[in-house]
Amino acid sequence: MPSIKSNTTIHGLQAFTQEVYGVSNDRYFNAWDMLTNVERFLMRGLKGIRKEDQEKIELNLIISLSWYMSLMNQLHINLEENVWHRFPYVCSYCGDLPCSCKSKKVKKRQKITIDNKLRPKTLKEFQIMFEKIYPSTTRTLEHAGIHLAEEIGELSETVLNYRGSHKDDDFKQVTLEAADLFSCYIGVFNSLKSDLATKLSIVFKNNCHVCKKSPCECSFDKIMHFKF
C-alpha cells in the first residue's frame, strides 16, 4: 500500500499523491478547484500561526501541500526538478548562500550556475538546504507565513495568466512560481523547527489519511467538509 516514508524524495511525494488521489482529482476537480483547496488549507495554516498552534499549522499546511502536489500532477510539472533548478543550493534571486538579498540590497535577479553535485536527494535534505539558504533565525514565523501567502497569490496569478494565454513562456512562469511556493512551505516548517518529511510520514503512513484507501474513495462531500 502506498505510504510516505521519512526518507521520501519530493518526487516520491508527488508520485504518492498521484497514486492515491489521481482518480478522485481527475473526476472531481479542475486546476481552479485545486488551487482553491491549496489556498483553503494554507489559510487555515496561517490561522494556526495567529493562534500559536503548531499542530494546526503543520497539519493544515500538509493538507495544503498535498493539494498543491495534485495541482503539480495535473499540470504535469516535475516539482523536484523545478525546485532544484530554481534553488541550486543558493538563493534564486541573489545567487548567494546564505541569501544576501537584504544585506546587499540586491535589486536585480543574478545569474545562477548549477552544481549538480550539491543536489539534495531526499525531501529532508532539501529542507536542510533551504535552512542554509534562508536561515530561519533571520525571520519570524509570522514573516515566513506572510511570505507563504504572497507566493500562493503569485502562483494563482501565473496560473490565471497561462489559462488565458496558453503560451509556453507563461507556463514557464507557473513552474517558477510553483518552486517559490514550495520553498515557502519549507520555510514555515524550518521556522517551526519541524521536520516536514517525518510529519508527512505520520499523516500519510497508509493510503489516504481519511478513508485509508488507495485510490482514495472519499466522497466529494467528505472532501469538502474535511478540516483539522
Q: Which is nearer to Zn ion, 91 or 186 (CB)?
A: 91
Q: Which is nearer to Zn ion, 3 or 78 (CB)?
A: 3
Q: How deeply is 169 buried, as exposed, middle or buried, from its count of CB atoms within 10 A (0-12, 13-18, 19+)?
A: exposed
| Neighbouring C-beta atoms of residue 9, cutoff 10 Å | 18
Q: Which is nearer to Zn ion, 155 or 216 (CB)?
A: 216
CB of 91 vs Zn ion, minimal distance in Å: 3
CB of 226 vs Zn ion, minimal distance in Å: 9
> Rule CB under 5 A: which residues touch Zn ion?
91, 93-94, 99, 101, 208, 210-211, 216, 218
Q: How deeply is 184 buried, as exposed, middle or buried, from its count of CB atoms within 10 A (0-12, 13-18, 19+)?
A: buried
Q: How far is CA 20 from CA 77, 89, 103, 135, 211, in A?
A: 18, 31, 44, 34, 11
CB of 125 vs Zn ion, minimal distance in Å: 20
Q: Which is nearer to Zn ion, 47 or 85 (CB)?
A: 85
Q: Which is nearer to Zn ion, 152 or 208 (CB)?
A: 208
CB of 55 vs Zn ion, minimal distance in Å: 21
CB of 168 vs Zn ion, minimal distance in Å: 27
